[in-house]
A = this chain, B = another copy of it.
């Protein structure tokens, strides 16, 4: 509510602005001159020039041609969908080229297309392929119509000066008004959501408003269809990011959402600099971008939290433009340059030219300045969050991602206290991501597949605990949205011993889940993740902790059986997709499971003093269209009251295929023990080949100043704060 007030103050600022000059939303005339100079210069090493030439080549293919503006019939991946999608990019790019080159053929191309849309759009109704209530007109979903509005609005601004007054009117009334009306009136409820789709919608309406100097549109864009600030772009800036810039839907979606934020903010800044939109909420757009970029792996992929397609990486179009705009408003940044170099193209705007010039002059780092960091979730930063624990440099970077955030809206997964592990650019413990083949018509028209909700979003698809074969919150998104996990403590002061602990009390009514992780580096030359996951229940339940490893099974220290026919692990909540490829029961000692991922060895060691059933699973059952990837996990199951799962994930050795050597291919973990576990204190022991690790945890008073003392193994341990880590060299 407080933020809504701020929005209204901004409203006052905005109404004082003048009528627009054109073009002013993506670039202006003086910038276009600079761009032409750069495009004409002879040096070969200009990313800007190359990007200009690429764009020119694409657009020139259409010059003189009658571009089809078909009546919409197909879903994503089909002809009419793809045609309208390529059309808006073509209009935008041609508009940019018109301003840079001054050649009217580009403006003519845009004009002809806009006039066709002016004829088509008034005839449109709900798209025939619409499957949700968020139907579009030109496309099967309203989101794509919003995309069209953003780029077509920019294109209109870019060729405004080329159009006659009557052509302008024809386009504004025929092409734009039906779309704006549809989104803001017919789709009012959708338009006024605080959601990434609606960011596109507001940006679309706002850019059209700026381009057509329509104050009504601009006000609806900034403050919602009722212009009261409860919805609209400002509310979206204020409510969709945490104060750190964490985006509740996760990194895959902020990659997508950042673009309309940046494009509309850029248009606002260029047309109404007095708004200082880029400074809004302490530079929230800069924070959002940096947080997004930190949530990537060195191979460029985004951490696949919530709904996420793994093939998307930091070279995606959205991030090229976002980085270029950020460079222009927030100044030079070596991290941005690292990504820009890998993108190897820029948008044809001022930031793009600045980036291109920097790439000419600077030695650019191969790797983004990745670091351990925590992001709080929730608009006030009080809804849990995620921790990213990192060690290793360059290609040897390892990342442990720990998610104790809120649900993450409709694209959220039931993954409370879940972890992901990356090492050397590879996924080691994976999150499935989402089940979708975007843009491929044969796969359900490119939409999210049914297996997305049935498997990918379910708890069993994540590296966290499932109780009684039922997903967190019973798989109910609305219920999940009401609660969030909470961090208990964390400590990143020593890079070799990073610690974080979090708790979840609502995923299963009456059950407390608590997971404490230590990410250790340089322990006798190896990296270890100590994973202590406790449960607290009033009665016996079945608890499953899966590790979705990637790699080839190398060896186990336990005997397992493999079946003659494959059966499913369970009947619902995602279990019905898992084949049981192997089974074991252990009772005491550690179960060790080693696998090979690319050229490195990994071992999961788990304590089995509670009777532990072990399952080796593979995705593929009940998937008649082969929509899921065939991937594996090891599941540890304990059925009792309040079991604990104590595991060590070890990263070790090196497989040198060239020289046919393997180094350190065996685990160093000899034993795991829980030396003490009561309401006050837990003491864990990890016995390695050459040393023994003691981890003591305070269970009640976790503030940094409380002193704790405990005697274990005839030794007195004293410490202040929530945890103690101690390494002892083994005798003999």
Where the two chains meet, the residues of A that have a C-beta atom closer than 8 Å to any C-beta of B are: 76-77, 82, 85-86, 309, 311-312, 315-317, 437-443, 446, 552-555, 562, 564-568, 579, 581-582, 594, 596, 616, 618, 620-626, 629-630, 632, 655-662, 665-666
> A666 to chain B: which residues have CB within 8 Å?
442
Kindly list 6 other residue pairs between chains A and B, CB separation below 8 angstroms, not including A311-B657, A440-B662, A581-B626: A309-B657, A438-B660, A443-B554, A552-B629, A564-B621, A618-B620
Q: How far is the CA of A317 from the CA of B661 in the complex (A)?
A: 13
Give the most central of A438, A441, A565: most B CB within 10 Å.
A565
Contact between A659 and B555 (Cβ–Cβ < 8 Å)?
no
> A437 to chain B: which residues have CB within 8 Å?
552, 596
Contact between B665 and A440 (Cβ–Cβ < 8 Å)?
yes
Instruction: Decide yes or no: A441 and B85 within 8 Å by CB, A562-B624, A566-B566, A566-B579 being known contacts.
Output: no
Contact between A554 and B662 (Cβ–Cβ < 8 Å)?
no
Q: Which residue of B lies closest to A618 (CB)?
A: B630
Q: How far is the CA of A334 from the CA of B707 in the complex (A)?
A: 72
Partner of A312 from B624, B630, B657 at Cβ < 8 Å = B657
Partner of A565 from B317, B443, B565, B659 at Cβ < 8 Å = B565
- The list of the 10 closest CB pairs from A to B, nearest first, reads A553-B626, A566-B566, A439-B660, A442-B555, A311-B657, A562-B624, A565-B565, A438-B660, A440-B662, A439-B662
> A665 to chain B: which residues have CB within 8 Å?
77, 440-442
How distant is A635 from chain B, measured CB to nearest CB, in Å? 15
Instruction: Decide yes or no: A439 and B661 within 8 Å by CB, A579-B566, A630-B618 being known contacts.
Output: yes
Q: Which residue of B lies closest to A629 (CB)?
A: B552
> A86 to chain B: which residues have CB within 8 Å?
661
Q: How far is the CA of A666 from the CA of B315 in the complex (A)?
A: 27
Q: How far is the CA of A565 from the CA of B576 in the complex (A)?
A: 11
Q: Which residue of B lies closest to A616 (CB)?
A: B626
> A312 to chain B: which residues have CB within 8 Å?
657
Partner of A442 from B309, B317, B594 at Cβ < 8 Å = B594
How distant is A157 from chain B, measured CB to nearest CB, in Å? 23
How distant is A583 from chain B, measured CB to nearest CB, in Å? 12
How distant is A11 from chain B, measured CB to nearest CB, in Å? 35
Contact between A317 and B441 (Cβ–Cβ < 8 Å)?
no
Contacts A/B (CB < 8 Å), 5 sampled = A317-B658, A438-B660, A581-B626, A618-B620, A630-B630
> A567 to chain B: which residues have CB within 8 Å?
565
Q: How far is the CA of A350 from the CA of B620 in the complex (A)?
A: 55
Contact between B315 and A655 (Cβ–Cβ < 8 Å)?
no
Q: How far is the CA of A125 from the CA of B623 in the complex (A)?
A: 57
Contact between B581 and A620 (Cβ–Cβ < 8 Å)?
yes
Contact between A565 and B566 (Cβ–Cβ < 8 Å)?
yes
> A660 to chain B: which residues have CB within 8 Å?
76, 85, 438-439, 446
How distant is A133 from chain B, measured CB to nearest CB, in Å? 23
Q: How far is the CA of A317 from the CA of B76 in the complex (A)?
A: 48
How distant is A547 from chain B, measured CB to nearest CB, in Å? 15
How distant is A441 from chain B, measured CB to nearest CB, in Å? 7
Q: How far is the CA of A564 from the CA of B624 in the complex (A)?
A: 10
How distant is A711 from chain B, measured CB to nearest CB, in Å? 40
> A657 to chain B: which residues have CB within 8 Å?
309, 311-312, 438-439
How distant is A523 from chain B, measured CB to nearest CB, in Å? 22
> A632 to chain B: which residues have CB within 8 Å?
630
> A315 to chain B: which residues have CB within 8 Å?
658
> A659 to chain B: which residues have CB within 8 Å?
317, 439
How distant is A207 from chain B, measured CB to nearest CB, in Å? 20
Instruction: Decide yes or no: A77 and B553 within 8 Å by CB, A439-B655, A566-B565 being known contacts.
Output: no
Partner of A662 from B77, B625, B655, B662 at Cβ < 8 Å = B77
> A656 to chain B: which residues have CB within 8 Å?
439
Q: How far is the CA of A207 from the CA of B82 in the complex (A)?
A: 67
Q: Which residue of B lies closest to A89 (CB)?
A: B659
Contact between A661 and B85 (Cβ–Cβ < 8 Å)?
yes
How distant is A632 from chain B, measured CB to nearest CB, in Å? 8
Q: How far is the CA of A666 from the CA of B74 in the complex (A)?
A: 15
Q: How far is the CA of A564 from the CA of B621 in the complex (A)?
A: 7
> A317 to chain B: which residues have CB within 8 Å?
658-659
Q: How far is the CA of A85 from the CA of B660 in the complex (A)?
A: 10
How distant is A623 from chain B, measured CB to nearest CB, in Å? 7
> A76 to chain B: which residues have CB within 8 Å?
660
How distant is A320 from chain B, measured CB to nearest CB, in Å? 10
Contact between B85 and A442 (Cβ–Cβ < 8 Å)?
no
How distant is A437 from chain B, measured CB to nearest CB, in Å? 8
> A662 to chain B: which residues have CB within 8 Å?
77, 82, 439-441
Q: How far is the CA of A658 from the CA of B255 in the complex (A)?
A: 12
Q: How far is the CA of A579 from the CA of B312 in the complex (A)?
A: 32
Q: Which residue of B lies closest to A632 (CB)?
A: B630
Q: How far is the CA of A659 from the CA of B621 in the complex (A)?
A: 31
> A565 to chain B: which residues have CB within 8 Å?
565-568
Q: How far is the CA of A440 from the CA of B660 in the complex (A)?
A: 8
